[in-house]
Amino acid sequence: MNKQQRARYILKHLDRIYPKTPIPLKHDNIFQLLVAVLLSAQCTDERVNKVTPILFKLAKNAFEMRNTSIEKIYEIIRPCGLAPQKSKAISNLSKILVNKFCGKVPESFEELEKLPGVGHKTASVVMSQGFGIPAFPVDTHIHRLSQRWKFTNGKNVSQTEKDLKKIFPKTVWKKLHLQIIFYGREYCTARGCNGLICEICKTCFPNRKKPVQTKK
C-alpha cells in the first residue's frame, strides 16, 4: 500500500471500531475542558477524571476558580503529578480569563497559547473538541502510531502534526485524532505491538519483519 491507500484503509478501519468518539475527559463547559486537558499532561485520563469532579464541584468556572486558593487547588489535583506547576497555572489562567475575557475561554490559538500552562497541544484539543475548529492535537499515542504507519519520520510532534494534516482532510481531524488515541491505547500499544502485531500494522505492512523503533 502507498501512503494514500494506507490512509483510506485506516480511516475505514477506525470508523468501524470507533464510530463514536466521546471526549474522554469529563467536563461540563469549555473552561472545565481546558483545565482537564491541562491536568492530563503526563497523567492518565482516568486519574484526571477522578480529580476533576472534586475540583469542579468547588469551582465550576473561571470566576469561582479565581477565588480558590492555589493551596486548595493543589490539594485536590496532587494525584495528577506536576501539581505545584499545574495548580499555579490553573489559578493564574482563571484570573486572566476573568480580567481579560469576562471569564470566557478565548476562541483563538494565539490567545490560548498565551495562557499559563497551555501549550499548543492543549490549545489544539480545546479548539477542536471545545469549539469545533479544525485542529490535530498530537499526543504520544498519535506520534508513535504515525511513525509505525509511515505517515511521518517522527522528528518531533510538530512535524508529525504537519505531516498528518497534509494526509488527512480537515473534516476528519476532530474525530480521527481521538480514534488514533483510542486505537493506540487498546491495540497498537507502546509495548504490545511495535509495528508488527496489531491488525492495522499487519495489513498495511505485511512484509515488515523488524520492529519499528519509535522516536520520541
Query: Average pLDDT in the 14-25 region?
Result: 96
Query: Average pLDDT in the 32-50 region?
Result: 96
The answer to whether 134 touches 174, Cβ cutoff 8 Å, is yes
**pLDDT for residue 214 is more than 90:** no
Tell me the domains of the chain and their CATH numbers: 3-20+136-204 (1.10.1670.10), 30-130 (1.10.340.30)
Query: Average pLDDT in the 47-75 region?
Result: 98
User: Which amino acid, one-letter code, is at 55?
Assistant: L
Mean pLDDT of all residues in the chain? 96
Give tens-digit pLDDT for 147-202.
999 999 978 999 999 999 999 999 999 999 999 999 999 999 999 999 999 999 99
What pLDDT is recorded for position 216?
A: 75
% of the chain surpassing 70 pLDDT: 100
Q: Give the Cα separation of 179 and 195 in Å (integer).
A: 17
Give tens-digit pLDDT for 113-136.
999 999 999 999 999 999 999 999
Q: Give the Cα separation of 59 and 68 in Å (integer).
A: 7
CA angle 156, 164, 118 (to 5 degrees): 55
Backbone angles phi, psi at 194, to 5 degrees: 65, 20
**pLDDT for residue 32 is more than 90:** yes
Q: Which single residue is written with the C-alpha cell 485524532? A: 177
Q: Give the Cα separation of 103 and 95 in Å (integer).
A: 8
The answer to whether 122 touches 106, Cβ cutoff 8 Å, is no
Active site residues: 121, 139
What pLDDT is recorded for position 158?
A: 94
What pLDDT is recorded for position 139?
A: 92
